[in-house]
Amino acid sequence: MAVAGAPFAAFVMDARSGQEIYAQNADTRLHPASLTKMMTLYLAFAAIERGQVRLDSKFLVSSHAASQPPSRLGLKPGQRIELRYLIRAAAVKSANDAATVIGEGLAGSEEKFARQMTQTARALGMRNTNFRNANGLTAEGHYSTARDMTILGRRLFYDFPQYYSIFSRRSADAGIATVSSTNRRFLDGYEGADGIKTGYTRAAGFNLTASAKRGSKRLVATVLGGTSTAHRNAVMAQLLDAGFGKAPTRVREVRPAPPEFVAEKKVRRTVQVARVEPRQAQASASLSVSDRPVARASTVAVVTPAAISAAVSRAQAAAPAPAPSTGSTLSASARPARKPGTGAVANAAVDPEVLARAARPEARPEEGDAQEPISEPIEANRPVRAPRDGQSASLMPAEQPAGSPSLFVQTSEPQPESIALLETPAPAQRSETIILASLEPEEDNAPQATEIVSRSGNSEGKRWGISLGLFRSQGEAEQTLLRTALQENSSLGSALSRVASTKRGFEANFVGMTKDTAELACGRLAARQQDCRIIGP
């Protein structure tokens, strides 16, 4: 599956209702980069809530995990580290090694964890997403969309409110080091922003899924393919500004329903057909035919050629001495008659190529989602308790097959061929206490009174701007500003959009520019036959 290399895509959603507000290339499959870690963390939170692991469970660092390229925490092979520190490093610093350790610790291998990630994405309604690893490094067949990443961001907010505050942390204690947030600039620079995750690779460009709240409104948005951190943040600010202006003040909140996981029950059935070679009987010998063995109830009897030969030998030994025959010689033993109502093979001389044919599963896995065949029905298993200190944590119960998804709750009752597996309901809202934090308050969480960030754009030398004209409605003016910002991001730089209400209409302006920047931007817009006027101090 070919994935486009860093074209631009954006999607804005009203988090309260899940309704679309703005979309541009929203369903184009692109490289998500470290936005992938949102799903890694989603599965980690789900495992904690099911009681299969705890925040203090220690995970073993493999050589594969320790060898991941930056950004990374600096883990060493053979090291054991608590899950709480791995979560902080993956969410705040976007550490690739920490995300890989989480995946391996929960599923046993990153490959199996990636399959669980894709299965969960399908259950959440992410229809154009496929994962190949836990950290988001570029890989063939690893892709997502702006719409799907926005859906995932909303699910993190609603499904795990008790952990969501980790995404607004500017720094965190990751055990072996204090890490700083990769999203700090946007969190500090945009009013109401409280998350959620950044991402960058050369193939993906600069990505961001963000959430912000103003009054009763909350938006979740995703930008894929930004040209720089500043450009990505500026476009996200423009999208959210326009979204808050368009979103209704009062709307019915529609919380997402618990994800529905569906697995196909695959049972491998093997049918063996015995081929009996006729034996040359002694002269004047009469063989009695052994009775067909009675199969046990609810089982399938598999008859092998060796077993048939043994049965024939026992029949020969038990048979009475035959009367002499004058002229008739038997060349082979008589074949047993077919038992009425059974599926036995009428002719024993069957082509050997028919031996051992397994029944194929009725449903195929999703495209790109490799599945391991399950030879027997999965037995019911209760979640295992989290390992104590010094043990490697794993979500896979000892009796569970290695290929089965550890995210699912299974039942021992008989199920149809397509069985819906139970899922833990979304947790109720808890207190504002940061569960991922230590018991003692961290200094990094204290208000930073010495750093004041302003978006007024009226700093010395940046008192110029440009006007795009008057419009009949505020929404039309905002859409023009947003479209212009996406088309001319290189010339507009860090300029801010403003809609001024006048007696003649709504004026669309970009402000916070130097004189040179304003002249350059206005010249480029004029060349594209778009109205533009320079505004001086």
Dig out the tokens for 286 from the structure.
């009469």
Sign, Cα dihedral of 48, 50, 51, 52 = negative
Q: Which residues are annotated as a binding site for substrate?
A: 197
The least confident of 84-93, 119-128, 479-488 is 479-488
Quick check: 264 pLDDT over 60? no
Domains and CATH numbers, the chain: 9-263 (3.40.710.10), 270-288+302-358 (no CATH), 464-535 (3.30.70.1070)
Label residue 76 by pLDDT band (50, 70, 90).
very high
Alpha-carbon gap, residue 310 to 53, rounded angstroms: 54
Tokens (6 digits) for 362:
């009725």
Between CA 398 and CA 424 the distance in angstroms is: 21
pLDDT above 50 (res 295) = no
Write out pLDDT tens, residues 195-224.
999 999 999 999 999 999 999 999 999 999
Q: What is the pLDDT of residues 13-65, one digit of tens each?
A: 999 999 999 999 999 999 999 999 999 999 999 999 999 999 999 999 999 99
Q: Tell me the torsion sign for CA atoms 166, 170, 172, 177.
A: positive
Nearest one of 343, 405, 341 to 378, comparing CA atoms: 405
Please answer whether residues 395 and 406 qualify as being in contact, where contact means their C-beta atoms are separated by less than 8 angstroms. Answer: yes
Give 326's pLDDT tier (boundaries 50, 70, 90): very low
* Count of C-beta atoms within a 10 Å radius of residue 499: 20
With bands split at pLDDT 50, 70 and 90, how would you rate the model's confidence at 1? low
Centroid of chain to Cα 268: 28
Out of 371-385, 479-493, 517-531, which region has the weakest mean confidence (pLDDT)? 371-385
Nearest-angstrom CA–CA distance, 412 and 262: 16
Averaged pLDDT score across all residues of the chain: 74
Q: Are 81 and 90 in contact (CB under 8 A)?
A: no
Mean pLDDT value of segment 461-474:
87
Per-residue tokens: 20: 């679309």
Map residue 171 onto helix, strand or coil: strand
**Span 473-491, mean pLDDT?**
82
Residue 529 confidence class, pLDDT cut points 50, 70, 90: confident
- Interacting residues of 460 by C-beta distance below 8 A, sequence separation 6+: none
pLDDT for 2 equals 57
Over residues 487-503, the pLDDT tens digits come to: 777 778 778 888 888 88
What is the Cα–Cα distance from 116 to 172, expressed in whole angstroms? 28
Higher pLDDT, 290 or 378: 290
Tell me which residue has tokens 């391991």: 372
pLDDT of residue 190 exceeding 90, the answer is: yes
Question: What whole-number distance in Å separates Cα of residue 94 and Cα of residue 334?
Answer: 75
Please write the tens of the pLDDT for every residue from 407-421. Answer: 333 333 444 433 333
Distance CA 217, CA 245 (A): 10
474 band by pLDDT with thresholds 50, 70 and 90: confident
Coil, strand or helix at 508: strand
Which residues contribute to the annotated binding site? 197
Those residues whose C-beta lies under 8 Å from the C-beta of residue 235, and which sit 6 or more positions away, are 10, 223, 226, 485, 486, 489
Q: Is the pLDDT of residue 147 over 60?
A: yes
Question: Which stretches of 137-216 are assigned E, i.e. beta strand?
Answer: 171-173, 178-180, 193-201, 205-214
Give the tens place of pLDDT for each residue, 387-401.
334 343 333 333 444
How many C-beta neighbours within 10 Å does residue 535 have? 16
**Of 74-78, 106-110, 394-398, 528-532, minimum mean pLDDT range:** 394-398
Buried/exposed code over 76-106 (b: 16+ C-beta within 10 A; e: otherwise): eeebbbbbbbbbbbbbbbbbbbbbbbbbbbb
Residue 100 pLDDT more than 70?
A: yes
Under a CB-based contact definition with an 8 Å cutoff, are residues 128 and 27 in contact?
Answer: yes
Of 42-56, 295-309, 463-477, the range with the highest mean pLDDT is: 42-56
Distance CA 240, CA 72 (A): 30
Look at phi and psi of residue 284 and say left if phi exceeds 0, alpha if psi is from -120 to 50, else beta.
Answer: left
One-letter amino acid identity for 134? A
pTM of the model: 0.55
Catalytic residues: 34, 37, 94
Q: Is the pLDDT of residue 376 over 50?
A: no
Selected residue with higher pLDDT from 456 and 463: 463
Stretch among 194-208, 223-237, 368-382, 451-465 having the lowest mean pLDDT: 368-382
| 309 pLDDT above the threshold of 70 | no
From start to end of 93-185, where are the E strands?
171-173, 178-180
